[in-house]
Chain A
Amino acid sequence: MKIVTPLIAALILTACAQEKSPPPAKDLFSPTNGERVTDCSIRFKKSGLCLSWGWESQPTSTAMGSLVFKTYRANLLDQSPVQVDLESTPQVILWMPEMGHGSRPTTVNPIDVGTYRASDVFFVMPGKWEILFQIKSGESVLDEAVVNVTI
């Protein structure tokens, strides 16, 4: 009996033990009430287009990550966001304004209408970073949207 009691206690404790899982990443694209969330608060400076974005795989201090972003124009009738392709595949540049340098180049590929994946996302050091979504023609930047993140 002396052996059985601690064994039962141990089994109960083990059965209740839960592995601590990391907090869920913010998913801007998860469906809510049957509709996709289109957070259009991030605006391109000139064209009036906007974008929403979210981490697909968050980068770490040793591994690259990827993010997915969607671009929208305003619906002519009610100004609601309508997903739209940009003139050309945009570039995503990681820039650290306080340090005056960037990070490694990212790779951007279109996935669907107005939907792009930026992979090879890596921040070379912790601190305040800007994620620049740039529409370019050759070397000149036609339009740009900026997201501030702290790593």
Chain B
Amino acid sequence: MKKVALLTIFWTFIAHASVSLPVEGQNLLTDKTVKASVENKKGLVVVFLSAVCPCSNSHVAELTKISNEYPDFNFIAIHSNANEEVAVAKNYFTDKKLPFPVIQDSKAKLADEFKALKTPHVYVVRPNGEIAYQGGVTNSADCSKADKNFLRDALDDIKQSHVVRTPSGRTLGCVIKRG
């Protein structure tokens, strides 16, 4: 009975996990304020990335592709790692030329709000703030070796107005260091 109660509480927590929108912060590359919303979109994809973590780096090309293939969703990246110098991160993300902005989350406020653990750690947020998916982009620390793409699956489910079949996936990568 205890187990059932705990399980119910757990699933209730998962089902109702939500964040406040828009996601707002300082653009790492321009120092201007950036607001990522879900206006006229099916959702917002929030991904925590690192400038030095190889697991994060291996997913950058795939994230670029996904953002191109799913125009119904807005995308935003967040850089929260306190152990990575801003200048290093600026150089890295300037080189990567991502098709979406990168927020510099210096005090890990957004990482705390999302309870982000590692890089890459991705969240799909619905227009009502509900987190429809959270976890790894794929099921591998090295994107090229992945045989499951959790993020694509979640976006496909939402596009087809289905319930996201896998609402959370294991996050494999480098731990986000808080300051």
Contacts and interface: CB of A to CB of B under 8 A. Distances in A.
Given A105-B65, A105-B68, A99 B97 contact: no
Contacts of B158: none
Interface residues of B, number: 17
Interface of A: 93, 95, 97-105, 124, 132, 139, 141
Interface string B131-153: 00000000000000000000000
A99 B103 CA distance: 11
Given A105-B64, A105-B65, A100 B101 contact: yes
29 contacts: A93-B97, A97-B30, A98-B32, A99-B27, A99-B30, A99-B32, A99-B101, A100-B27, A100-B28, A100-B30, A100-B32, A100-B101, A101-B98, A101-B99, A101-B100, A101-B101, A101-B102, A102-B97, A102-B98, A103-B99, A104-B67, A104-B68, A104-B99, A105-B65, A105-B68, A105-B99, A124-B99, A132-B97, A141-B95
A124 to B, nearest CB: 7
A124 B28 CA distance: 20
Interface of B: 27-30, 32, 34, 64-65, 67-68, 95, 97-102
B102 A100 contact: yes
Q: Which one of A93, A101, A102, A141 has the highest number of Cβ atoms from chain B below 10 Å of its Cβ?
A: A101
A94 B160 CA distance: 30
B43 to A, nearest CB: 17
A61 to B, nearest CB: 13
Nearest to A100: B29
Contact of A95 (B64, B97, B100): B97
Contacts of B102: 100-101
A106 B156 CA distance: 23
A105 to B, nearest CB: 6
B46 to A, nearest CB: 15
A105 B29 CA distance: 19
Contact of B99 (A98, A102, A132, A139): A102
Given A99-B32, A99-B101, A101-B29, 11 more contacts: A98-B30, A98-B32, A100-B27, A100-B34, A100-B101, A101-B98, A101-B99, A101-B102, A104-B67, A105-B65, A141-B95
Nearest to B94: A100
A111 B18 CA distance: 50
Nearest to B31: A100
Nearest to A105: B68
